[in-house]
Amino acid sequence: MIQIQGVSHRYGDREVLSGVDLSLGEDRIGVVGANGSGKSTLARLLNGLVVPTTGRVLVDGMDTARDGAGVRRKVGFVFSDPDAQIVMPTVAEDVAFSLRRHGLGKAEVADRVGGILARFGLGGHLDHPAHLLSSGQKQLLALASVLVTEPEILVCDEPTTLLDLRNSRQVADLLEGLTQQVIMVTHDLDLLAGWARVLVVNEGQVVQDGPAEQSIGRYKALMGAGRPC
C-alpha cells in the first residue's frame, strides 16, 4: 500500500505536481496524461527516486524521504529505455548483478537467474551479449533484473514506448501475469483496457481517478479540448 499525502513537487521554482493525495492499494493502477504533465515525477515519487518538496509518500508505512533504500527494496522500477537499465555485458550477468548484495551463494544465484530468465523466455540467451538482444528482449531482461529481487510493487514508466506492437504485447502480457501490484504510466491506452483504476494527470494534478473507461474518456476529452482549430 502506497500513500501520497499532501504532495507537491517543484524543480527549482517550477511546480510540476501540486496537492496530490492518493492511496494506492489496487493490484493494477494505470497513469495517463499529456507530455510534461508530471506522470514520471509522480512515478519516481513512489520509490524515492524523487523526494517531494512538500508532503510525504509512505510505502507500507515507510517514508520515502527517510528510508529510501528500504523503499527501493520493496518497489521495483522499470523505465522506457532498456539500454539504460542493463548494466552488465551478458544476459545472465545482468540479472545476477541485482542479487550481488543479497548474500546468496553462487548456486542459489544461478538458480534464481536461470529460473526467472526461463520464465521470461530468455532461457536460451543466458551467456549472450545483452546488446545483441532485440529491444523487446532487452526490456524483458530489464524486467527480469528488477523482478529477480522479488519486490512487492512494480512501477513502470512507459515500459512499452520504445517497442513495436509485437514486443510491447509480449511485455504487456508478462506484466499482466505478475502477482505483484503494478503501477504503470503509459501512452498506450490499449494496455489499460479493463483496469479497475486509472489516474489522469493534467498540469501537475490528478484530475480523474476511476475505472479505465471513464478515465480514458476524460483523458481523450482533455486532449481534444486543447486541439487547435
Partner 1 sequence: MLTSTFRPGASLLHRSGAGAKLLGLLVFSTVLVAFQSPLAVLAGFALVAGLYGLGGFGPRTLVAQVWPLRWFVLCLLPFQWWTAGWQVAVAVVGTLVVAVAGAALVTLATRVTDLLDVIARVLEPARAVGVDPERVALLLALTIRAVPVIAGTLHEARDARRARGLERSTRALVTPIVVRTIRHADRVGEALAARGIDD
Q: Which of ligand ATP, Mg ion, partner 1, none has residue 88 at its interface (CB below 5 to 8 Å by kind)?
A: partner 1
- Among 226, 203, 206, which Cα is nearest to 14's? 203
Stretch in the footprint of Mg ion (CB under 5 A) among 38-46, 117-125, 133-141, 168-176: 38-46
Query: Does residue number 186 form part of the binding site for ligand ATP (CB under 6 A)?
Result: no
- Tell me the backbone φ, ψ of residue 94, rounded to 5 degrees: -65, -40
- Tell me the backbone φ, ψ of residue 65, rounded to 5 degrees: -75, -30
Among 17, 32, 40, 215, which residue sits at the site for Mg ion (rule: CB under 5 A)? 40
- If you write DSSP's letter for every residue of 114-154 in order, what string do you get? HHHHHHTT-GGGTTSBGGGS-HHHHHHHHHHHHHTT--SEE
User: CA-CA distance, 213 to 30, in Å (whole number)?
Assistant: 12
User: CA-CA distance, 201 to 5, in Å (whole number)?
Assistant: 16
Query: Does residue number 76 form part of the binding site for partner 1 (CB under 8 A)?
Result: yes
- Residue 15 CB, shortest distance to ligand ATP, in Å, is 9
Could you tell me which residues are beta bridge partners of residue 200?
32, 208
Among 15, 63, 93, 203, which residue sits at the site for partner 1 (rule: CB under 8 A)? 93
From first CA to last CA, the distance across the chain in angstroms is 44
Among 4, 24, 30, 40, which residue sits at the site for ligand ATP (rule: CB under 6 A)? 40
Q: Which of Mg ion, partner 1, ligand ATP, none has residue 124 at its interface (CB below 5 to 8 Å by kind)?
A: none
**What character string, x for contact with ligand ATP (CB under 6 A) and - otherwise, covers 4-33?**
-------x----x----------------x
The 10 Å CB-count burial string (b at 16+, else e) for 77-100 is bbbbebeebbebebbbbbbbbbbe
Within residues 123-142, the interface with partner 1 by CB under 8 A covers: 126-127, 129-131
Among 10, 56, 73, 169, which residue sits at the site for partner 1 (rule: CB under 8 A)? 73
Query: Does residue number 47 form part of the binding site for partner 1 (CB under 8 A)?
Result: yes
Site for Mg ion, rule CB under 5 A: 40
